[in-house]
Amino acid sequence: MRKVNRYDVASPSSLAGLRTAGARELARARTYYANPARTKSYGFTAYKGDDVRHALYALFHGKCAYCEARYEVGMPVDIEHFRPKGEVAETPGHPGYWWLAGHWENLLPSCIDCNRRRYQPTPASLASVSGVLDHQRVRGFRAILTGKESCFPISGARMAAEPLPANLPASIAAESALLINPCSDDPEEHLRFYIDRQNPLGLVYPAPTLLPGQPRPAMPIALPALSDDVAAIERAAQHAGVSVRGAVSIQIFGLNRLALVQERTRILRRLDVLATLLVDVAGAADTLELLPLAAAADEPARQRSVAKLRAVTARLLSEIKAMAQPDEPFASMVSAWIRTFAAELI
């Protein structure tokens, strides 16, 4: 998950303003929910407009807002309501945040696995999966129920009805959401990637809860509790001294489900191959540049060879940097890997 500025793209015209499809639908929904005899959720459609879909695509570069996997090739996208519109899993009887169904700031693109509730193989602990991950050996993974769907755990006071527009920001803040919103939160404050160049493993773990001035631990403290019970995840995170929001988000969105861990591991291995080549080629250029020559006439040939090696080094470095661009899958993990690699070179 990477931080995204929602205002990098314009709000969809179908949702912005007083005479739009979104505004008309909200007016009808208010009438519908004012009727105590209603028996089901209102059938919202304005959020599905083509301009909404295109705006979300541009904002997130065709990637899931939560896991950063590409959804544009062979995977349908769900236009996801961060605050669910029809019901709230943690509060039976809650009608959902229906007043936010067409609210631009409440919409995110999600892959179906991050959004829909289903059982996913998930790691029980770091030690149980390290060094044994491939398509045949998946020991250390257990199936738990993940996927956001209508889940929206909070630690504050939940909105039970539509607030006045002027009070909406304060009502949102008062809920103290336990899930990370990449448009209003900084995921790096709550999530870390497991970066070990000797044993690549594409896991994400909750960030340590640090006191001011306290150094960041070199290794993960703990993976989230292997549970779909938010209270249990919260308690385990507090006990381990890690971000509660990070732990809850990892388990609710299924950010360590097997398919994601495998794909992130594949990218980490590719990065390590590129890094090894880069270091070796750069070292060969340095050695060749200092190598004594039998004859001065050989100097032009040496300089040409060194220049070619330097060019290869530059291309390798460019390839690594390109993998961290916002439109690339798992760019936040690649950025974390680059920081680790750069520190090793110092």
Hunting for tokens 């002027």 — which residue is that? Answer: 166
Q: Return the closest-CA partner of residue 114 out of 86, 90, 79, 85.
A: 79
Residue 264 has pLDDT above 60, yes or no: yes
pLDDT at 136: 44
Confidence of residue 214 (pLDDT cuts 50, 70, 90): low
Alpha-carbon distance of 252 to 247, in angstroms, equals: 9
Confidence of residue 132 (pLDDT cuts 50, 70, 90): very low
162-192 tens-digit pLDDT = 999 999 999 999 999 999 999 999 999 999 9
Q: What percent of the chain has pLDDT over 70?
A: 90
Is 115:148 a contact under the CB 8 Å cutoff?
yes
Is 233:247 a contact under the CB 8 Å cutoff?
yes
| Residue 119 in tokens | 């059982």
Would strands 118-123 and 191-193 be described as parallel, antiparallel, or unpaired?
A: unpaired
Q: What are residue 40's phi and psi, to 5 degrees? A: -150, 175
pLDDT at 218: 52
11-15, 99-103, 199-203: least confident range: 199-203
According to DSSP, the residues that pair with 208 across neighbouring strands are: 242
Alpha-carbon distance of 172 to 186, in angstroms, equals: 17
218-239 tens-digit pLDDT = 544 567 777 788 999 999 898 8
Residue 22 has pLDDT above 50, yes or no: yes
Q: How many CB atoms lie within 10 A of CB 45?
A: 11
Confidence of residue 345 (pLDDT cuts 50, 70, 90): confident
Alpha-carbon distance of 39 to 53, in angstroms, equals: 30
| Residue 117 in tokens | 């509730």
Write out the H or E segment, with its range, that includes residue 169: helix 168-175
Alpha-carbon distance of 324 to 331, in angstroms, equals: 4
Q: Return the closest-CA partner of residue 227 out of 201, 254, 188, 189.
A: 254
| Residue 307 in tokens | 């220049």
Amino acid (one-letter) located at 323:
M
Alpha-carbon distance of 123 to 129, in angstroms, equals: 7
Alpha-carbon distance of 253 to 224, in angstroms, equals: 12
